[in-house]
Amino acid sequence: MPTETAPLLSVMPSVSSETQPSVLSVSVTDHRYHPLQQTLAPCALELKKGEVVSIIGPSGCGKSTFLRIAAGLIEASAGTVTSIADRTAILFQEHRLLSWKSLLNNISFGLQGQKLSKLERMTKARTVATAMGFAEEDLIKYPSELSGGMRQRGALARAMAIEPDLLFLDEPFSALDIGRRRDLYRLVLHEVDQKQCSVLMVTHDVTEALALSDRVLIMAPDPGHFSKEYEVPLMRSERTRRNLMDLEASLLADDRIAHLFNMRNWERLV
């Protein structure tokens, strides 16, 4: 285990106050893909401005479905979604870059949903790409010529180019190594601090959820419902690997949650 005690992520914590109106409020009362099989039981969520909320749960528990409903990609069988966000972006588990477009054209692709001239789109895409740490020669490359980490960073740049005030993350970091992952965490959190962007994230990585979020919702399957809500007690700037381990331990100390993740006696590796 790393013994590093420096802050895991050197960013300022967000200021979330209870009085602010919700940027997003989701209330699903029922959702099913198949008439006889309920995917989601009633579950509700309020997301404040500048807040980062994670949904964690075992694979197949319905968390991605909930995110897709919240993002407006699909409609719940019964329920409502209200959002006051002007611009919404989604980062998917796969990068979903268009393989026939260069990186720069991929980054500017999402801007077509706004009323901008081609020149404005290109300028904006270039600015964002530079801010995301892409070199000039990367911009003309096709996705097939980029590494996995760069592709996902390109997808993040495409999402950030539209300057979202609401960002959905559907396990976008799960295929990356720890270093690339940390780069992307920084980039996302920077956006959260700068623009007070709200984030709803789905992940199956408990540590990731604890590192990034203000609040963690735990979803249990059959049918999907929130079984627990956990406010992360530390400010983001105070979180370190060491105290995150303690947080994780306290979270998994709850027998129901340990059971959910098959993590009874979790101190043992196997």
Partner 1 sequence: MAGVCLIFALWQIGFETFGPLVLPAPLDALERLAHIVAVPSGLDYILITARRAFAGFLLASTVGIFFGLIAGWSNTLSLLCKPFITVALGVPPIAWIVLALLWFGGGDGTPVFTVFISTIPLIFAGALQGVRMREKELDEMAQSFHVPLLQRFWQVQAPQIVSYLFPAWATALGLSWKVVVMAELLSSTRGIGAGLAEARVNIDTAATMAWIVVIVGLLLVIEGILLNPVKDYVEGWKHAD
Q: Find the helix or strand (DSSP H, E) in which 245 lies.
A: helix 241-253
Q: Is 172 in the site for partner 1 (CB under 8 A)?
A: no
Q: Is 174 in the site for partner 1 (CB under 8 A)?
A: no
Q: Is 128 in the site for partner 1 (CB under 8 A)?
A: no
Single residue of 26, 28, 61, 71 touching partner 1 by CB under 8 A? 71
CA gap 143, 151 in Å, rounded: 6
CA gap 211, 214 in Å, rounded: 9
CA gap 217, 229 in Å, rounded: 5
Select 96 or 228, whichever has its Cβ closest to partner 1.
96
Peptide bond preceding 13: is omega within 30 degrees of 0, i.e. cis? no
Select 101 or 204, whichever has its Cβ closest to partner 1.
101
Select 84 or 253, whichever has its Cβ closest to partner 1.
84
> Which of 42-50, 106-114, 181-189, 227-235 is the region at the interface with partner 1 (rule: CB under 8 A)?
106-114
- Residue partners of 170: CB distance under 8 A and separation at least 6: 64, 67, 68, 90, 91, 92, 93, 202
Please report how many Cα atoms fall inside a 13 Å half-sphere around the Cα of residue 178, on the Cβ side: 4
Single residue of 90, 156, 201, 202 touching partner 1 by CB under 8 A? 90
Span between the terminal Cα atoms of the chain, in Å: 16
Q: Is 194 in the site for partner 1 (CB under 8 A)?
A: no
Q: Is 112 in the site for partner 1 (CB under 8 A)?
A: yes
Select 92 or 226, whichever has its Cβ closest to partner 1.
92
Query: How far is the CA of 248 from the CAs of 11, 110, 177, 216, in angstroms?
Result: 21, 37, 20, 11
Q: Is 78 in the site for partner 1 (CB under 8 A)?
A: no
- Residue partners of 113: CB distance under 8 A and separation at least 6: 162
Q: Is 80 in the site for partner 1 (CB under 8 A)?
A: no
Give the total of residues touching partner 1 (CB under 8 A). Answer: 23
* Smallest separation, CB 87 to partner 1 (Å): 9
Where does this chain bind partner 1 (CB under 8 A)?
A: 71, 73, 88-90, 92, 94, 96, 98-101, 109-113, 141-142, 144-145, 158, 162
